[in-house]
């Protein structure tokens, strides 16, 4: 037989254990909701804002109208999605610059380039990893296209620096070598283009275009 004191202690323990279990269950629920909010809801809202920006861009009549919806999407914080959106945007700007059917006015092109480069550089300085090297590649491609299209030596020089930085960070990515090769060809810098072409052929000897270009460079001596 248990004394009344033992029953009281036992009842208190049961109540305490119940409260502990309830607290644990509440904590788990809060954590689960927080994870859903961070990993699903915020990325969904951010992606929706970017899709809306793409739709509004097709109807924009001024540069401000074009950029404002994208800025809203970029300013919305989410634990995931920002690097991807910036890369998509950078590739869209690159497409605008290389559109052979309609050349942008130079002041508009310069404003778009400055904006895109600024956003791509929002990655932490010195950051490493795939996102960072992809941002470097897109930025270099944008500056190279702008420099070639509008004869801007400063943009070409910066593009060259970025391609070389990308090569140091990710030496196995062919895009940086091909970017440098195309840039030197556009500048008419055969002396710089040749070793890059040789490097490309060392790793990708079956490239269908580079051998012919290298032959032309050698014949032009």
- 186: domain CATH number is 1.25.40.10
State the residue range of the domain holding 88.
8-219
Grouping H, G, I as helix, E, B as strand and the rest as coil, residue 57 is helix
Question: Does 1 reside within a domain?
Answer: no
Q: Is the pLDDT of residue 189 over 50?
A: yes
Q: Domain tally for the chain? A: 1
Q: Is the pLDDT of residue 211 over 60?
A: yes
pLDDT at residue 161 in the model: 97
**Residue for token digits 């702008």?**
146
Question: Does 2 reside within a domain?
Answer: no
Q: Is the pLDDT of residue 165 over 50?
A: yes
What average pLDDT does range 171-188 have in this prediction?
93
Strands, E assignment, 120-193: none
43-77 pLDDT, tens digit per residue, is 999 999 999 999 999 999 999 999 999 999 999 99
pLDDT band at 25 (very low <50, low <70, confident <90, very high): low
Report the distance separating Cα 15 and Cα 8, nearest Å.
Answer: 11
What average pLDDT does range 201-207 have in this prediction?
92
pLDDT band at 125 (very low <50, low <70, confident <90, very high): low
C-alpha separations of 86 from 43, 71, 108, 131, 151 in Å = 14, 10, 19, 10, 26
pLDDT at residue 130 in the model: 60
**Residue for token digits 């950051």?**
127
94-116 pLDDT, tens digit per residue, is 999 998 788 999 999 999 999 99
Question: Does 3 reside within a domain?
Answer: no
Given a contact cutoff of 8 angstroms between Cβ atoms, the answer to whether 201 and 210 are in contact is yes
Given a contact cutoff of 8 angstroms between Cβ atoms, the answer to whether 156 and 118 are in contact is no
Question: Does 140 reside within a domain?
Answer: yes
């Amino acid at each position: 037989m248990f004394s009344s004191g033992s029953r009281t202690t036992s009842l208190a323990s049961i109540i305490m254990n119940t409260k502990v279990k309830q607290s644990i269950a509440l904590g788990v629920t809060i954590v689960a909701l927080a994870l859903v909010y961070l990993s699903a809801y915020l990325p969904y809202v951010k992606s929706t804002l970017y899709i809306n920006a793409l739709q509004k861009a097709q109807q924009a009549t001024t540069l401000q109208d074009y950029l404002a919806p994208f800025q809203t999407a970029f300013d919305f914080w989410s634990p995931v999605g920002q690097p991807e959106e910036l890369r998509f945007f950078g590739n869209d700007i690159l497409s605008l610059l290389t559109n052979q059917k309609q050349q942008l006015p130079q002041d508009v092109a310069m404003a778009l380039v400055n904006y895109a480069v600024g956003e791509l550089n929002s990655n932490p300085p010195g950051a490493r990893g795939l996102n960072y090297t992809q941002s470097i590649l897109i930025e270099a491609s944008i500056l190279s296209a702008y420099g070639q299209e509008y004869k801007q030596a400063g943009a070409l020089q910066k593009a060259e620096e970025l391609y070389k930085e990308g090569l140091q960070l990710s030496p196995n990515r062919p895009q940086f070598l091909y970017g440098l090769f195309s840039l030197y060809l556009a500048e008419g810098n055969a002396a710089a283009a040749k070793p890059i072409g040789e490097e490309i052929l060392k790793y990708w000897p079956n490239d269908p275009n580079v051998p012919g270009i290298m032959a032309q460079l050698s014949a032009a001596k």
